[in-house]
Amino acid sequence: MKKPKIIKNLKLLEELIAKLLMYVALFVVVAFAMSIVVTIISRGWPAMTWEMVSQVPGSSFLLGGDGGILNAIVGSLYIVGASTLLGLAISIPIVFYMNVYLKKTSKFGYIARLSYDVLFGIPPIVFGAFGFMIMVYFGMRASLLGGIIVITLLIIPVFIRSIDEVARNFPREILDVAYSLGATKLQTLHVVLRQILPGVATATLLAIGRAIGDAAAVMLTAGYTSAIPTSLSQPAATLPLAVFYQAMSPIEEVRQGAYAAAFVLTLIVLALSIGGRLIMRYFSKDKIH
Amino acid sequence: MKKVFKMFRPDHKFARGDGNSYIKIENLNVSIANNHILKNVNIDIPDNKITCIIGPSGCGKTTLLKTLNLLIYAIDGVDISGKIDVNGTNIIGRDFDIEVHRRMMGLVWQKPVPLPMSIFENVAYGCRVNGTFHPRKLKMIVEHYLTAVGLWDEVKDRLRAPATSLSVGQQQRLCLARSLAVEPSFILADEATSALDPMSSKTIEELFVRLKENYSIVMVTHTLSQAQRIADNVIFMYMGQVIEAGSAEQIFKNPQHELTQNYISGAFS
Ligand SMILES: Nc1ncnc2c1ncn2[C@@H]1O[C@H](COP(=O)(O)OP(=O)(O)OP(=O)(O)O)[C@@H](O)[C@H]1O
Ligand SMILES: [Mg+2]
């Protein structure tokens, strides 16, 4: 009679400890995330001035002079916007081809998916170095175009991996319906897109997150400048680098500016993910479950 | 304008039905991944009749329908031999316009499969795919065929709502309207009523009876009473072979083959 009770108590204890550990883990992660947000807001907000977001840096900006980070805001938006559109335009046909044209057992499809997985895991600095090498080979200087191309390459694996995930669960009967109504394989694109659009939206959010936060690849390929680029061949500043350069400054006031830049970066990411979520909800309405 | 209108609303009679659509299947063999599924099938499907295919589960009924509209080619490792003569064209092993052929075969599945679009777009999809884009024309087509399947009054105020917001029975009628909208000559229905409640399935049955005036209908069913109610011709299949074919009266009242007798008397299911 005694033994079962002990076992029962042991099981309760086990459950209790497991629960406790999970709570602790959850708390640590949430606390960590909150502390980042709180730090950025509490230190970034006081440093936020209208000048910060409406002016390009003056000649002695990093030494405490006049100016703001408009160059980096615009540069980041240019690069992220263009590479997201390019990335979508390249990834969607690839995913469509892999899922509609290739057979499930296709070796080519298998190798392609493996390659995208490998690319997904390669750190941005390697993309940057690789892009830089190619640019040097062609005699290109650090430029907006270079940044856009490298960031596009950087986020294509993100797009393909996450859209493919959704596309592989695409109900085959829907394709059969489209075929039976006389659609060619290419014409089924419309139907496939309608079904996987929510997945495309999620993928876009992930890709934008990776694109906008990257410092390593753009440092090598887009460079940094105080001016707002007016053509693709000019270098472009980006927000992560604006944070980096200001944070490295020995002057306290300039270091404050780093928080302001981080604040702007966070706001943009936040706005994009909330906007993305709303768009996603709108597009999911016709989806077949 | 008036002319177009007339073309698509001939008093809810259907545009099709010239009385000479037919399918003639000769020595059809289908195997998937070396698995011989249809064996030496010979079938005649006349116009303006409902041909019911009955037989136990796994005997190849769905495979036969998929072969008829060539969806079978979407499956890996299929091997087909024999002849399927559709209105004078052999559709097996010849290079011809597969999309045009598929459009001629309106398919209705066991479970309604709406496309991930609105009610309106579901019916319009086939027309768009086949090159009809004119909004007013599309609207007329959609109204005409939704009326034909008795769905128009139920959905006319929410044509832009997702197709999935309809009940299953309504979805099935929507799918039928969608198939009819590309003006097929044949309707292939695979257990089209088995997912429906008795009322909805009665609606579909009555529709088929009405539609046979203008179409040639092939219907797979597990419900013998349904076949008795609406079939003109019955084909009994067993293990990939056609065991017996004939008029409904003959098959149900006076089956020749022992297997048919057993099946009809409910000896195996
Ligand atoms: N894609 C496929 N690959 C391999 N075998 C298949 C495939 N599709 C069907 N079969 C086989 O073909 C045979 C006939 O299948 P089919 O679906 O045509 O039967 P059915 O008569 O429609 O049955 P049910 O009444 O249960 O729907 C079955 O033995 C099935 O396992
Ligand atoms: Mg079946």
Calculate ∠ Cα A77-A80-A82, nearest 5°. 100
Look at residue A114 in the predicted model and tell me its pLDDT: 95
Q: Alpha-carbon dihedral of residues B125, B127, B133, B136, nearest 10 degrees? A: -100
Look at residue B131 in the predicted model and tell me its pLDDT: 87
Report CB contact under 8 Å: A178, B125.
yes
According to DSSP, the β-strands at B89-90 and B78-86 are antiparallel
Asked if the model's pLDDT at residue B16 lies above 50, the reply is no
pLDDT in tens, B200-233: 888 889 989 998 888 899 999 988 889 999 999 9
Per-residue pLDDT of chain A (289 residues; tens, 9 = 90+): 556 788 888 889 999 999 999 999 999 999 998 998 898 889 888 888 898 888 888 888 888 888 889 999 999 999 999 999 999 999 999 999 999 999 888 899 999 999 999 999 999 999 999 999 999 999 888 999 999 999 999 999 999 999 999 999 899 899 999 999 999 999 999 999 989 988 898 899 889 989 999 999 999 999 999 999 999 999 999 999 999 999 998 988 888 889 999 999 998 988 887 888 888 788 777 777 6
Look at residue B175 in the predicted model and tell me its pLDDT: 93
Residue A194 to chain B, least CA–CA distance (Å): 6
Closest CA to A222 of A124, A289, A156: A124
Residue B110 to chain A, least CA–CA distance (Å): 11
Closest CA to A96 of A25, A27, A197, A8: A197
Looking at per-residue pLDDT, the higher value among B127 and B17 belongs to B127
Average pLDDT over residues B33-62: 92
Q: Determine the Cα–Cα distance for residues B12 and B152; give it in Å rounded to an integer.
A: 12
Task: Give, using CA atoms, the residue closest to atom 16 of ligand 1.
Answer: B60
Expressed in angstroms and rounded, the spacing between residue B58 Cα and the centre of ligand 1 is 5
Look at residue B68 in the predicted model and tell me its pLDDT: 92
Q: Determine the Cα–Cα distance for residues B29 and B82; give it in Å rounded to an integer.
A: 6
- Which atom from ligand 1 is nearest to the alpha carbon of B75? 1
Residue A87 to chain B, least CA–CA distance (Å): 25
Look at residue B268 in the predicted model and tell me its pLDDT: 59
Mean pLDDT of chain B: 86
Q: Determine the Cα–Cα distance for residues A169 and A238; give it in Å rounded to an integer.
A: 37
Asked if the model's pLDDT at residue B17 lies above 70, the reply is no
Look at residue B1 in the predicted model and tell me its pLDDT: 31
Nearest to B74 among A174, A176, A184 (CB): A176
Average pLDDT over residues B4-14: 37
- Structure token digits, residue A114: 């493996």
Amino acid identity, residue B81? S
Calculate ∠ Cα B71-B73-B74, nearest 5°. 75
Report CB contact under 8 Å: B103, A182.
yes
Asked if the model's pLDDT at residue B182 lies above 50, the reply is yes
- Which CATH class, in words, describes the domain spanning B2-9+21-264? alpha beta
- Which atom from ligand 1 is nearest to the alpha carbon of B61? 21
Extents of the domains making up chain B: 2-9+21-264
At B78, give phi and psi (nearest 5°): -90, 145
Q: Return the best residue to mutate from B29, B30, B31, B35 for the ligand 1 pocket (most ligand atoms within 8 A of CB).
A: B35
Expressed in angstroms and rounded, the spacing between residue A274 Cα and the centre of ligand 2 is 45
Q: CB-based contact (8 Å) between B100 and chain A?
A: yes
